[in-house]
Copies of this chain bind each other. A is one copy, B any other.
């Protein structure tokens, strides 16, 4: 778990990290928040939390969190408010990261952006006219479950051919593994030296010049670019910001994403969209959660 003290303009002043205690998340958040506040000479106005899960934007309740099921029980927002004495905002982590990049990262200067995070899962979030767009359900921005191949693999969500079935970190590993061993191409890549390679290993080997690893990264970029083209066609946002572990491959993945998006989107829309890598890394969530908490204190929701 990471905590950070963030200035009103979105700079991180101090950090705290701790191994996650899955069963006592609320107590741990409260502890880190208190420690950060006690260490600061400045006043702390609010506490923002980014969680991997669905958050009801109206009540702040966490509805589903497959990674942290314990936080779904109870009312974490009230619990934290009582423990810390601060106003508390709880937000989905992809939404928080999007807002962080928008305020202080690769999204700054734009008013409309789509944020994508590609790691163990694939998340998305949409900012329109400077505000997170939640939609009728509260959960707009489900980029990972866009169908990019109607006859593709089954997804955990029940659909077939979601982007996530080919482009999340575990699925990049699966595809690479399949191809290395199924096609007998294992002698062609340094990846075969370690059967337990990760998506980071694939990115690292690609950056180091391994052609097979590069091929897998490029193919992944093309899948992502297909979904990016759809965002461009439908929304024509000014900027698309891509973050998450899979973007560690840098331009090796960003360039095929941009090429495929260009090939598959309506040209006037494509030309009006900048496609860029996120710049804040994992700080995006802390900064964004803090900025959303700041905004909620400045302008309380009705």
| Residue from A145, A234, A238 having most chain B Cβ neighbours under 10 A | A234
Please determine whether B273 and A136 come into contact, CB atoms closer than 8 angstroms.
yes
- By secondary structure, the A interface counts as loop
Please determine whether A264 and B142 come into contact, CB atoms closer than 8 angstroms.
no
Q: How far is the CB of A218 from chain B (nearest CB, A)?
A: 15
Please determine whether A266 and B157 come into contact, CB atoms closer than 8 angstroms.
yes
The interface bits of chain A over 254-274 (1 if a CB of B lies within 8 angstroms of the residue's CB, else 0) are: 000000000111111101110
> In the complex where A146-B230, A150-B226 touch, is A139 in contact with B236 (Cβ < 8 A)?
yes
Find A233's partner among B146, B236, B264 (CB 8 Å cutoff).
B146
Q: What is the copy number of this chain in the assembly? A: 2
Please determine whether B269 and A142 come into contact, CB atoms closer than 8 angstroms.
yes
Is A149 in the interface zone, CB < 8 Å from B? yes
Q: How far is the CB of A264 from chain B (nearest CB, A)?
A: 5
Find A136's partner among B112, B226, B263 (CB 8 Å cutoff).
B112
Is A300 in the interface zone, CB < 8 Å from B? no
Please determine whether A147 and B230 come into contact, CB atoms closer than 8 angstroms.
yes
Is A84 in the interface zone, CB < 8 Å from B? no
Please determine whether B135 and A112 come into contact, CB atoms closer than 8 angstroms.
yes
Please determine whether A139 and B269 come into contact, CB atoms closer than 8 angstroms.
yes
The interface bits of chain A over 123-135 (1 if a CB of B lies within 8 angstroms of the residue's CB, else 0) are: 0101010000111
Q: How far is the CB of A184 from chain B (nearest CB, A)?
A: 25
Is A237 in the interface zone, CB < 8 Å from B? yes
8 contacts between A and B (CB under 8 A): A128-B133, A133-B235, A136-B269, A137-B273, A141-B236, A142-B269, A145-B233, A157-B266
Interface residues of A (CB under 8 A from B): 54, 112, 124, 126, 128, 133-143, 145-150, 157-159, 226, 229-231, 233-238, 263-269, 271-273
Q: Which 7 A-B pairs have the closest CB atoms?
A: A135-B236, A137-B272, A140-B236, A136-B272, A142-B233, A136-B238, A142-B266
